[in-house]
């Protein structure tokens, strides 16, 4: 039975008490960025008040404390992802930087002209463009895993796309634009049977379902802090230790070296530090750790189950809006509804319902190839989090009904 105490969860989010245009905020843009609970805000505040210092290179108390908290977060992320070792966790600015790291380090070292990388039509631009940039330089080919009319990956087509030249599959765990949950464990098994690696973009999975990179057998797994109740501009890349060890650094600077000499050249630190050049977002990394603990205290499965309930309620309510077409009707999907309405521009709808306090996202959701598949250039997207309620969905749908009447 579902025991998520949503009233208690909401008390952790002061922002939910604010008003927008004189109306209580109904925040349904969680797939873009989730809100931040008090323990995470307090972690940031505590860091700057008590132990702000650069990490790894100090021999003073503040530097030691900051280093200890930073490295403790690596263990928190390791456990959150089910990884075996802390050194398999690299801190990045987020999912985007994590994927760019893999492209520029592993990709640049391993991809040759004529090689093939499989990318799905469901991808966020951040799992498309880094591969296109590199392909233009190195001359490998990008092949696209197609989807059906529900927005579900065509697994037969996936199997057939493999050739002796397939080196990597890059796929998201959950689609940000329409919520499809992809069978990544099965996809990894198939990729490995063809001696290809798999990189999973977990940006939209981390807040909604338990992740186990070992059971999944992901070679690389990326996620962002700000979609899982943590700060913006910080995230992590998981990579299997033997892969990370064989990869060259991609950014040079302090922290990532062992020795530097003009005569003998430079040697590099061990993983993960080899991939963490420069001073990282120390406070934000530590606060990300607190966010993951906050999620685990509630239970990510429970959060996911709660959001499924909200999704079912939203689907029911939205059916009453005439001319509304839902994009993405996968049987397994996260708490996201993406839709267009006949005779009403997505932008107009979003602006009108913002006047009623309701925050949703419109546009292409950084997934233009996916929207092209559905023959649209923009959708409205409402996405749910642990603190959303059925009452908020009713407010959203009532606001939507009013907006649609006004613009028609």
List, in sequence order, every residue forming a beta bridge with 340; answer none if it has no partner. Answer: 325
Q: What's the CA gap between 393 and 192, in Å, rounded?
A: 42
Closest approach of Cβ 125 to ligand PMP, in Å? 8
Q: What is the DSSP letter of 311?
A: H
Q: What's the CA gap between 131 and 117, in Å, rounded?
A: 8
Cα→Cα distances 46→50, 51, 53, Å: 6, 8, 13
DSSP, residue by residue, 33-66 = -----HHHHHHHHHHHHHT---SSS--SHHHHHH
Closest approach of Cβ 304 to ligand PMP, in Å? 16
- Cα-Cα-Cα-Cα torsion 156, 159, 160, 163, nearest 10 degrees, comes to 180
Q: What's the CA gap between 98 and 84, in Å, rounded?
A: 19
Backbone angles phi, psi at 156, to 5 degrees: -65, -45
Instruction: Give first-to-last CA distance, the chain, whole Å.
Output: 43
By C-beta, is 235 or 328 nearer to ligand PMP?
A: 235
The residues binding ligand PMP (CB under 6 A) are: 94-96, 124, 126, 172, 176, 201, 203-204, 224, 235, 366
By C-beta, is 43 or 224 nearer to ligand PMP?
A: 224
In total, the chain counts a number of residues equal to 408
By C-beta, is 77 or 404 nearer to ligand PMP?
A: 77
Closest approach of Cβ 251 to ligand PMP, in Å? 16
Q: What's the distance, CA 390 to chain centroid?
A: 25
By C-beta, is 174 or 321 nearer to ligand PMP?
A: 174
By C-beta, is 115 or 201 nearer to ligand PMP?
A: 201
Q: Is the peptide bond before 272 cis (omega within 30 degrees of 0)?
A: yes
What are the residue numbers of the active site?
A: 366
By C-beta, is 278 or 323 nearer to ligand PMP?
A: 278
Q: Where are the beta strands (DSSP E) in 214-351?
A: 220-224, 235-239, 257-261, 265-268, 324-327, 336-341
- Exposed e or buried b for every residue in 51-84, given b needs 16+ CB within 10 A? bebebbeeeeeebebbbebbeebbebbbebbbbe
Q: What's the CA gap between 393 and 304, in Å, rounded?
A: 17
Closest approach of Cβ 181 to ligand PMP, in Å? 12
Cα→Cα distances 38→52, 55, 299, Å: 19, 25, 17
Cα→Cα distances 224→19, 91, 114, 299, Å: 27, 10, 32, 18
Closest approach of Cβ 102 to ligand PMP, in Å? 13
- The CA angle 374-210-87, to the nearest 5 degrees, is 110
Q: What's the CA gap between 34 and 195, in Å, rounded?
A: 37
By C-beta, is 327 or 356 nearer to ligand PMP?
A: 327
Closest approach of Cβ 208 to ligand PMP, in Å? 12
By C-beta, is 12 or 201 nearer to ligand PMP?
A: 201
Closest approach of Cβ 221 to ligand PMP, in Å? 12
The closest alpha carbon to 135, from 166, 113, 105, belongs to 113
Closest approach of Cβ 182 to ligand PMP, in Å? 11
């Amino acid at each position: 039975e579902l025991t998520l105490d949503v009233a208690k969860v909401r008390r952790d989010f002061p922002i939910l008490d604010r008003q927008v245009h004189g109306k209580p905020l109904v925040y349904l843009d969680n797939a873009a960025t989730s809100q931040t609970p008090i323990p995470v805000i307090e972690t940031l505040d505590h860091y700057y008040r008590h132990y702000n210092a650069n990490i790894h290179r100090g021999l003073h108390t503040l530097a030691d404390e900051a280093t200890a908290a930073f490295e403790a977060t690596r263990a928190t992320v390791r456990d959150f992802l089910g990884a075996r070792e802390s050194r398999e966790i690299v801190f990045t600015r987020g999912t985007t930087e994590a994927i760019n790291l893999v492209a520029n380090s592993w990709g640049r070292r391993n991809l040759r002209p004529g090689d093939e990388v499989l990318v799905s039509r469901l991808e966020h631009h951040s799992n498309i463009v880094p591969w296109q940039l590199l392909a233009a330089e190195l001359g490998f080919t990008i092949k696209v895993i197609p989807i059906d009319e529900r927005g579900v990956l065509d697994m037969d087509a996936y199997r057939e796309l493999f050739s002796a030249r397939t080196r990597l599959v890059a796929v998201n765990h959950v689609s940000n634009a329409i919520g499809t949950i992809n069978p990544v464990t099965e996809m990894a098994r198939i990729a490995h049977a063809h001696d290809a690696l798999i990189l999973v973009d977990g940006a939209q999975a981390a807040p909604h379902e338990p992740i186990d990179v070992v059971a999944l057998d992901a070679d690389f797994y990326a996620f962002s802090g700000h979609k899982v109740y943590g700060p913006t501009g910080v995230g992590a890349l998981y990579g299997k230790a033997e892969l990370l060890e064989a990869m060259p650094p991609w950014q040079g600077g302090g922290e990532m070296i062992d020795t530097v000499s003009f005569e003998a050249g430079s040697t590099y630190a061990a993983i993960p530090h080899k991939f963490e050049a420069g001073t990282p977002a120390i406070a934000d990394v530590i606060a990300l750790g607190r966010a993951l603990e906050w999620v685990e205290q509630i239970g990510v499965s429970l959060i996911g189950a709660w959001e499924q309930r909200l999704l079912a309620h939203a689907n029911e309510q939205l059916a009453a809006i005439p001319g509304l077409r839902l994009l993405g009707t996968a049987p397994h999907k996260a708490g996201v509804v993406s839709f267009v309405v006949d005779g009403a521009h997505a932008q107009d709808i979003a602006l009108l319902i913002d006047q009623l306090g309701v925050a949703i996202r419109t546009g292409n959701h950084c997934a233009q190839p996916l929207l092209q598949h559905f023959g649209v250039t923009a959708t409205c997207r409402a996405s749910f989090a642990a603190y959303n309620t059925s009452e908020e969905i009713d407010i959203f749908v009532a606001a939507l009904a009013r907006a649609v009447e006004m613009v028609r």
